Structure 1
């Protein structure tokens, strides 16, 4: 007697296929969700890293703005026993005001802190590619650690200072003779944003210019920094407290030059970080408040993260070191 054999009926096969499709669809949904979450997490991690690095660099230099070694007074050309020839600086960055090059002159107040909101890509004579609408800032100071006479480099600039006397000199010039003075390397720094092309994308980059071997040189220091904005805390009555914060575009020559006993004693810093690459599955309809400025991006495909901090300029408050 022959044994009969049975397979799956058509209905059973269809039911199995439907169940299989549901299982595959569920797996694909989970995979897609994990992939999207991973992409967002990676993007936010990169934004955090780049933004915090930019804030750290700018904060460090602003904290040391106005540091001139052991000088017992604020910096001005009248406080120096000698000054180097300013014509020696190649590609010098000259900001607003009558005395705002790398090296102090004998004309007017020497600005060790200055900023501008560019209306063109050339806000200073040394910059041709600035991002319009993002602030440019200029900082001048001595470095934190003194050097020995034997460590002086011929093409660099230095501040030699004691509590009583000070001088600025180039390493190739004779070292000023000041009793009890130390030698501090001199820094002139400029920060701004420019747009670069990376992998077919237009990527905003934080640029740093620094006085190095007698030349202002510029290098990118971190990608994905889209906007800088500064507001300056002004003490108008010499009581050591901020009376008002004024955005870069509203700062006057009198405020930059500390006229009428006013001082810049704090800076509010805003840094807007942007993802380097677009995410076509993401639409940015957020608005970002950078002090008095509101930025929107009309639903583009870049994630962004806003950082802000307030920096007290302690060197503007002290009489001596």
Structure 2
């Protein structure tokens, strides 16, 4: 039996071209959406990293500021003074035993008559240069000109037996706590790196227990021109920390992408522990403000500003706006890197608290 002819089903050339055109439009739209989503995600990641780096940099500085001026059993009040000449006795870059001992002055009797280094010192970056105290250039490599730096000093929060310092080179503070209960010590405090010289005692029924010692801590925060500075450097400005470790300074990176650091200092003018005004150093040495005569030991608070940047450039973007960091304005960089400002205000607990009491 012969079946009748039936035409086969299919599409015409025109129908095929229409389908292909619609498919191409949908594919292009999906590709554009994917590209836009990828770009947006990348920008969000960059922004998050930039903000995180800025906040981390501030948190690191703030934690140290809160501890500045801590000296364990030593209570710097009354007639205890502070060495504030940062080009001499209070140079924050001192690392040798002799230089550190020169910053402290004490005599026979209670430690309340001692003189100690001021716990916070800041250097303002003016223009393209900054005048550094003796020895600072060597321990602050790749310092970015025009940015500020801050030096913070204290004793370690961990007290140790003097014998544990043997061979480390660490300079430690030892304070006598038995001068009122037992025969007077040769002095109320001792600053030394040799355990044989750390022989003061603490209060106990027999007056025979050696007082614990606290290694002295100096931290200097500054902005370097590079994160990895080997060879010609990677060109990524970075907040770095120069830390005195066992009698020598070592430098490590804290947060990459920090373009600028600016600091303002809250001054207590009437001795009640509260901030009366904020100031910045007007020169690179001696006092916080020579005109007003405000010394560094009057500082009870610090405002810190950081200008953080992306680690990579953004196509089609130009940094054309000035950046305001408190009382300081940083001119637009004119490049294709995005930047943002973060700030925090930190109280110097030890300095302000002592004034309140």
Normalising to structure 1: TM-score of the pair?
0.82
Mind listing any 5+ residue stretches in structure 1 that lack a counterpart? 80-94
Q: Does 1:271 align with 2:306?
A: yes
How many residues are treated as equivalent by the alignment? 307
Mind listing any 5+ residue stretches in structure 2 that lack a counterpart? 95-99, 106-114, 180-187, 204-210
The answer as to whether partners of 1:232 and 1:268 remain within 8 angstroms in 2 is yes
User: Could you tell me which residue of structure 1 aligns to residue 120 of structure 2?
Assistant: 113
Alignment of 1:103-142 (within 5 A): 103-105=100-102, 110-118=117-125, 119-120=128-129, 123=132, 124-126=136-138, 127-142=140-155
Change (3 A) 1:202 1:286: same
User: Could you tell me which residue of structure 1 aligns to residue 343 of structure 2?
Assistant: 308
Change (3 A) 1:145 1:38: same
Change (3 A) 1:201 1:301: farther
Distance 1:311 1:197 in 2: 26
Match for 1:188 among 218, 222, 231? 218
Distance 2:199 2:293 in 1: 31
Q: Deviations over 1:265-284 (max 9, x none)?
A: 10001122212122225444
Deviation at residue 14 of structure 1 after TM alignment: 3.1
Distance 2:78 2:217 in 1: 14
Q: Does 1:13 align with 2:16?
A: yes
Deviation at residue 138 of structure 1 after TM alignment: 1.1
Q: Secondary structure at the match of 1:125?
A: helix
Distance 2:281 2:81 in 1: 28
Distance 1:201 1:26 in 2: 39
Q: Deviations over 1:141-200 (max 9, x none)?
A: 111121123322431011112467322111355214244443111111111111227699
User: Could you tell me which residue of structure 1 aligns to residue 45 of structure 2?
Assistant: 42
Q: Deviations over 1:57-108 (max 9, x none)?
A: 11111111111111122599979xxxxxxxxxxxxxxx83321233152699
Q: Secondary structure at the match of 1:241?
A: coil
Normalising to structure 2: TM-score of the pair?
0.74
Distance 1:153 1:303 in 2: 50
User: Could you tell me which residue of structure 2 aligns to residue 99 of structure 1?
Assistant: 89
The answer as to whether partners of 1:284 and 1:301 remain within 8 angstroms in 2 is yes
The answer as to whether partners of 1:122 and 1:129 remain within 8 angstroms in 2 is no
Deviation at residue 116 of structure 1 after TM alignment: 1.2
Q: Secondary structure at the match of 2:45?
A: helix
Alignment of 1:69-88 (within 5 A): 69-73=72-76
Alignment of 1:127-276 (within 5 A): 127-154=140-167, 155-162=169-176, 165-171=188-194, 173-180=196-203, 181-196=211-226, 202-249=235-282, 253-255=286-288, 263-276=298-311
User: Could you tell me which residue of structure 2 aligns to residue 33 of structure 1?
Assistant: 36
Higher deviation after alignment, 268-277 or 228-237: 268-277
User: Could you tell me which residue of structure 1 aligns to residue 185 of structure 2?
Assistant: none
The answer as to whether partners of 2:147 and 2:260 remain within 8 angstroms in 1 is yes
Could you say which structure has the larger radius of gyration? Answer: 2
The answer as to whether partners of 1:272 and 1:306 remain within 8 angstroms in 2 is yes
Distance 2:246 2:79 in 1: 23
Match for 2:328 among 285, 293, 310? 293
Higher strand share: 1
Distance 2:39 2:25 in 1: 21
